[in-house]
Structure 1
C-alpha cells in the first residue's frame, strides 16, 4: 500500500426514519479502511440535519441537488487542509450534490464513486414506478417522464428539480475518474450511460462478520444447524417484493412451509399486519435495528429477497450469507450475482416464487455451509478491502 494513503469519504446519510443499507455499508467501509492502515477523512452530511439548517439554507434546499454552496465551501476547506489522494463519493443527495466532483477536481483530487443505484439516469434511482420496471428516462437529455409521473417523492416540482439536476450534471458524472460498480449489472448500466469500460471496476460491498456477536457458548458456528422458517427483512415498499412473496405464500395451506417472519417498515406495513393477523404461520416483527435483524437472520432457515426492481446489492443478502443462511431471491439486478450457488434465484412472479419457497423449505439446511463459504470467499472484508485500496492507488497515481 502507498505510504500515507489518505482518502476523503463523502456521503449524504439517509434519514434515520428510512433505514438504509447504504449507510451501514459506508460506515463499515470506513472502519475497514482504517483497520487496514488507510487514513480516512469523512465528509458526511445527513438528511436528518435538514430541519436544523439556518433559514437561508432551508430556502435554497430545493436547489441543493444541483448545487449546495455551504457544502462546496466546506469541502474546499477540507481538501486544502487535508490534501487527500482521492475523494470517494457515495450518495450526494440532497445536501452534497454532484458538484463535489467538480470541487474535488478543481483542487486536483481525483474522484471515485461507488454506484449504489441508478440515479445517473433515473430521478428516484430505482428504474421502478407504479409497480413495474421503468426505463422511460433512459437515453433522454431531460427526464420529462419523471416529471409527468411525479417519480421523485410523489412531487412533480421535486421531480423537475431532480430531472434538471441529472441534465446539468451529465458532464459531471462523465468526468468521474473511476466508478465502482457493485455488480456486473451496475457495470452494464454505466456502460449504457456512456462510461468507458476502463473507468469501471466491479467490486461488491464487504460487510463485517456478524457471527462473533451472535454466537453463544457451544454454538455450532454460522455454518452449523440452520434455524427455522423464512425471513423477509427489508423496507416494506412495493419494489422490495413483499406483495409478491405474500401472494406466493398464500398459495400454500397454513403451516405447510413452516413460518414466515416479516421485519421492516414502510408503506406496505398495513399489508404485513393484515396477513399476520389472518394467518398463524406469518408474524410481523415491526422495524428492527441491525442487531435484532441479524439475530432474526440467524434464527431463520432461509432469507427471502423477492425484489421486483433491479435491486443493486441488497445488504440483507450479504448478511444472510455471513450468518450461513441461504437466500431465495429473484433474477432482478445484482441478486443473482450475490446468491450464486448459495440459494435459489427465480423469476419475479408468484408461480416461480411459490416453487422457490417449496424448494427452499426442503433444502435450506443443506446449504448453510455453502452460504457461509460464499461470504468468506467473496464478501468478507479481508477479501475486498485490499481490492478497494488497489483501486485508490491506481487512480491516485
Structure 2
C-alpha cells in the first residue's frame, strides 16, 4: 500500500506524545513493507523565518492555501492509496483535507486531542475541566485566553475551530477519523461530529524489552510538568502521605515543563522525593520497570494516556483518575487503581493501597502485562491501522459503538 503521512511536528524542545505516535506508526508501516512517504512541516522552522513570514503564521492557521496547493501537487505526482493526516497546527491547517478532496485521494485523520471542539485541545481551564466551547462557537476560549493565556494567541485557533466545524461535520473529504479512545469519541459526537465517520483506534507502544521483576522501589511520575497533568494534585497527595508517615518508597518525578521550578523547590532537601528532570527514553524505560506503580493524576480529560500503556508493557500497575480515557485503560483493582478526579485524599489512598499491598500489586502487574499483549502491541496496532485504511478506501462507514 502507498501511504502518505501528513504531520506538523511539534517543537523539538517540547516532549510530544503525538510526534512519538506518528514516528511509531510510520515505522510500523514501513517495516511491514508498505511504501510510506511523509509530508511534514516543523514548528522548529518558525524561529528561522523572516519577520513577515513569521507574522503571517497565525493568519494561516485556519486555512493555508499555499499548503493546499503544495500537497495537491504532491498527490498528483505520487498518487498514494491513502493519506493519513495527524497534527495540522500551525503550519499546515485543515486545508490539507481539501487537497485530498481535490485529487480524489482517500484520507483518514487521527484526532490526537480535542482541537475540533476546543481551541487549545485540552478541555481544561483554570485548573478544571471545561466544556464551554463544546457544541458552540468558541467565544469563551477567546474571552479567557485559553491558549497560552493570551486572547491574541487564542484567536487564530478559535477562528480555525469555528470556520472548519461545518467541514468536519460534512466529512471535509476525510473518510474516517481515528479517535484514540471511546471517551474522546463520545465527546466529539456530543459536539456534533458525525458518529459514522468516527472510529476508535487506541495508540500502541513498543515492548520496552525490560519488565518489572520485584515489588518496585519507587512511585513514578513520568511526563510534562503542567497543571493539566495533575502535578499540583500529586504534590498535595504526597504531602498528605508524608504527614502520615509515608508509604516506604520515594516519589520519583521525571519530566520537564512550566512547573519545573516549583517541583524543584518542593523536592529540595526531601528524602522521600527525587526530581530527575528530563530523561532519555532508555532511562524512562528503566525507571518504569523499577516502579511499584506509575501515577498519572491528570486534571484534564486525557484523550488517551500513553504512560499507562507504557507501564502495562513493563508489567507495572498504574494509578489514574476515573475520567477521560483512563477507565478504558485501567481496570480498577485488576491492572491498577482509579481515584476520584481532583481529589488529593483519594489519590493518596490509592497510592497507599497499591504500594503497601505487595501481593495484590504483583498480581495487578501481571494482569497489566497481559492487557498490553492483548490490546496495545505494535502488531495489534498495525492490524487495526491497515484495516481502517482499507475500510476508508472502500468507503465503508464506521460500525456503531
TM bucket (normalised to shorter chain) is: over 0.9
Deviates more, 1:5-14 or 1:63-72: 63-72
**Change over 3 Å in CA distance of 1:208–1:34 after alignment to 2:** same
Structure 2 residue aligned with 1:151? 146
Is residue 2:206 matched to residue 1:235? no
Q: Distance in 2 between matches of 1:355 and 1:44?
A: 45
How many residues are aligned here?
383
How far off its partner does 1:77 sit?
Answer: 1.9
> In terms of mean alpha carbon deviation, does 362-371 or 176-185 score higher?
362-371
Structure 2 alignment gaps of length 5 or more? 395-401
Map of 2:237 onto structure 1: 248
Please give the alpha-carbon distance, in whole angstroms, between the structure 2 residues aligned to 1:55 and 1:276. Answer: 41
- 1:291 is the counterpart of 2:289: no
Q: 1:379 aligns with which of 376, 380, 397?
A: 376
CA distance in 2, matches of 1:249, 1:39: 49
Secondary structure at the aligned position of 2:57 is classed as helix
- The root-mean-square deviation of aligned C-alpha atoms, in Å, is 1.5
> Which of 340, 361, 366 does residue 347 from structure 1 map onto?
340
Q: Which runs of 5+ in 1 are unaligned?
A: 215-221
Larger CA deviation: 387-396 vs 72-81: 72-81
- Name the residue aligned to 2:159: 164
The worse-fitting range, judged by mean Cα deviation, of 76-85 and 190-199 is 190-199
Partner residue in 2 for 1:360: 354
Q: Distance in 1 between matches of 2:149 and 2:251?
A: 31
In structure 1, what is the equivalent of residue 129 of structure 2? 133
Distance across 1 between alignment mates of 2:303 and 2:74: 31
Which residue pairs with 2:399 in the alignment? Answer: none
Quick one: distance in 1 between partners of 2:374 and 2:234?
Answer: 29
Instruction: Give CA deviations for 1:309-335 in whole Å, capped at 9, x if unaligned.
Output: 101112211111111111111112111
**Secondary structure of 2:241 counterpart:** coil
Contact between 2:135 and 2:192, CA under 8 Å: does it hold in 1?
Answer: no
- Equivalent residues in 2 for 1:166-181 (5 A)? 166-174=161-169, 175=171, 176-181=174-179
- Indicate conservation of the 8 Å contact 2:247/2:355, yes or no: no
Residue 267 (structure 1) aligned with residue 258 (structure 2): yes
Q: Is 1:302 the counterpart of 2:302 in the alignment?
A: no
Q: Deviations over 1:193-233 (max 9, x none)?
A: 2233221211101111111xx4xxxxxxx253243110001
- Is this contact kept in 2: 1:181–1:201, CA < 8 A? yes
Looking at structure 1, the residues matched to 115 and 372 of structure 2 have their Cα atoms a distance apart, in angstroms, of 28
TM-score by length of 2: 0.92
Aligned pair partner of 1:58 in 54, 58, 81: 54
Alignment TM-score, normalising by the size of structure 1: 0.93
Q: What SS class does the counterpart of residue 8 from structure 2 fall into?
A: strand
Q: CA deviation at 1:255?
A: 4.3
Q: Does the CA contact (< 8 Å) of 1:33 and 1:40 recur in 2?
A: yes
Report the alpha carbon displacement of residue 368 of structure 1 after superposing the two structures with TM: 2.0
Please name the residue that 2:197 is paired with: 199
Distance in 2 of aligned mates of 1:256 and 1:119: 39
